[in-house]
């Protein structure tokens, strides 16, 4: 989607993202956005929660069988899991 859209700032300083853009970008209530002023322009990009990205990556690795148990890791690294 590369079209330019005009929006108006309301009395509380809010901009409304048009529905077509929200749908195209899968914007949902509660999503975070990063705003960067650039002179007279405002760059707006959807922010990704790094913990969500990490969880997605971990689940993908697990589904693909690329993970090991804590016990296997401890044995490989020479770490004791026993309480001292």
CA distances from 70 to 58, 66, 74 (A): 14, 13, 6
Q: How many residues does the chain have?
A: 84
Cα separation, 84 vs 64, whole angstroms: 35
pLDDT one-digit tens code per residue, 22-74:
999 999 999 999 999 999 999 999 998 888 889 989 999 999 999 999 999 99
Cα separation, 84 vs 81, whole angstroms: 9
Sign of CA dihedral 63, 69, 75, 79: positive
Q: Structural domains in the chain?
A: 1-47 (2.10.260.10), 49-84 (no CATH)
pLDDT recorded at residue 2: 67
């Amino acid at each position: 989607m590369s079209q330019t859209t005009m929006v108006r700032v309301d009395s509380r300083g809010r901009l409304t993202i048009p529905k077509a853009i929200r749908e195209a970008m899968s914007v949902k209530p509660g999503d975070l956005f990063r705003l960067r002023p650039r002179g007279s322009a405002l760059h707006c990009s959807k922010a990704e929660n790094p913990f969500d990205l990490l969880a997605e990556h971990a689940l993908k690795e697990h589904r693909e069988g690329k993970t090991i148990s804590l016990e296997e890791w401890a044995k490989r690294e020479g770490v004791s899991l026993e309480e001292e």
